[in-house]
Amino acid sequence: MFRRILGCLALFGVLAAASAEAVPVYVKVAPPAPKVEVRVVAPGPGYVWVGGYYRWHGGAYAWIPGGWRMPPHPGAVWIPGHWKSTPSGWYWRPGHWR
């Protein structure tokens, strides 16, 4: 019984953390234009360039540089994140592998 309660509490914690990350933060200020990044040579075959982006951090935009990433499985395609404008402000839609 005790294990079952601990398991439920752990699952609740994971779900709460995931739902907190899923709630968009709206920013009233439009993001700056993306920086032009210089791509160095890929570290090896199969790597995919994941471009940098601006993140809202501490009341201002902060640039997160891009880099080479290995896809999680063969055939995976990187879908870049982007800032979306809404009547409530701008919010970040993160990139993901598809």
Instruction: Tell me the C-alpha distance between 88 and 28, whole Å.
Output: 8
User: Does the pLDDT at position 81 exceed 70?
Assistant: yes
SS3 8: helix
Q: Give Cβ neighbours of residue 83 (< 8 Å, ≥ 6 apart).
A: 30, 31, 54, 90, 91, 92, 93
pLDDT value, residue 22: 72
Tokens 């994971």, residue located: 14
pLDDT band at 84 (very low <50, low <70, confident <90, very high): very high
Average pLDDT over residues 72-80: 97
Q: Is the overall model pTM greater than 0.75, yes or no?
A: no
Q: Compute the Cα dihedral for 15, 21, 95, 46 and give only its sign.
A: negative
Residue 68 dihedral angles phi and psi, to the nearest 5°: -85, 135
Tokens 């005790």, residue located: 2
Q: Where are the alpha helices (DSSP H) in the chain?
A: 2-22
Residue 84 dihedral angles phi and psi, to the nearest 5°: -115, 130
Q: What pLDDT digit, counting tens, does each position of 7-61 carry?
A: 433 434 433 333 345 788 999 999 999 999 999 999 999 999 999 999 999 899 9
